[in-house]
């Protein structure tokens, strides 16, 4: 591209990162025909919006540079047909199955997913296990934060973006499945919902407290 190439749009930068994975600001600047300084400003703006993140990269002698990639939120920026497929599948199931059968199927799914979660989180201290769960949820598209419960006995897991929000709006039973999923993942804890997006909260939140607290 020549010097008069248009400044990169958000879509162009995000698409390059989606296709190429991890890219330096210099590489992006070269592909878009702009200065590295302008590219860095652009990336910082996307970083402020939570769409991209950077990490140090050392490539030979000299000062380390940053390499950029999409965050989970950045990946969610792109259309995903899986949500529409899941809604269609649930609609078909609801038309042919009783509410009890639907609930049973979703409960079974929660048990199976909780088993996979437990394998991933291991059996270490509760703080480490919950932190691992929070990271797993982020990888699934949730915007998840973890903080100590104000009472000092447990932890609060908050999800500010739900990757199944549209499905949950039509099938609130999915939210019950999410609660059961976390309970099965931490069988040595009490898990309760403390706020809920479908009740006009700005996040879904779960309090996780060890049984011995």
| pLDDT, position 3 | 36
Q: Is the pLDDT of residue 20 over 80?
A: yes
Q: What's the CATH number for 82-210? A: 3.30.1380.20
- Distance, in Å, from the CA atom of 171 to the CA atom of 187, rounded to the nearest integer, reads 26
Q: What is the pLDDT averaged over residues 142-167?
A: 80
pTM value?
0.56
User: Which tens digit of pLDDT belongs to each residue from 84-99?
Assistant: 777 788 888 888 888 8
All CATH 1.10.10.10 domain ranges in the chain, comma separated: 10-76
DSSP E strands in the chain: the ranges are 23-24, 52-57, 65-70, 143-148, 155-161, 189-195, 204-210
Which residue in this structure is represented by tokens 């609930």?
103
User: Which tens digit of pLDDT belongs to each residue from 28-67?
Assistant: 988 888 889 999 999 999 999 899 999 887 655 556 678 9
Evaluated on CA atoms 75, 90, 176, 112, the torsion sign reads negative
Class of domain 10-76: mainly alpha
All CATH 3.30.1380.20 domain ranges in the chain, comma separated: 82-210
| pLDDT, position 81 | 65
Evaluated on CA atoms 27, 29, 30, 31, the torsion sign reads positive
> 207 and 149 in contact (C-beta within 8 Å)?
yes
């Amino acid at each position: 591209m020549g010097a008069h190439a248009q400044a990169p749009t958000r879509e162009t930068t995000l698409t390059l990162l989606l296709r190429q994975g991890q890219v330096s600001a210099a590489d992006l600047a070269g592909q878009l025909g702009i200065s590295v300084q302008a590219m860095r400003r652009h990336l910082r703006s996307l970083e402020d919006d939570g769409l991209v993140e950077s990490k140090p990269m050392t490539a030979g002698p000299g000062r380390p540079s940053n390499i950029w990639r999409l965050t989970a939120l950045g990946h969610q920026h792109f259309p995903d047909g899986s949500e529409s497929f899941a809604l269609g599948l649930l609609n078909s199931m609801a038309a042919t199955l009783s509410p009890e059968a639907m609930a049973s199927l979703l409960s079974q799914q929660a048990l199976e997913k909780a088993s996979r979660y437990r394998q991933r989180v291991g059996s270490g201290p509760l703080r480490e296990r919950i932190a691992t769960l929070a990271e797993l949820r982020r990888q699934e598209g949730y915007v998840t934060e973890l903080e100590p419960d104000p009472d000092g006995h447990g932890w609060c897991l908050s999800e500010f973006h739900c990757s199944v929000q549209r499905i949950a709006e039509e099938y609130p039973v999915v939210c019950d499945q999410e609660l059961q999923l976390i309970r099965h993942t931490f069988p040595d804890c009490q898990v309760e919902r403390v706020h809920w997006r479908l009740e006009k909260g700005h996040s879904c939140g779960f309090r996780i407290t060890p049984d011995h607290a």
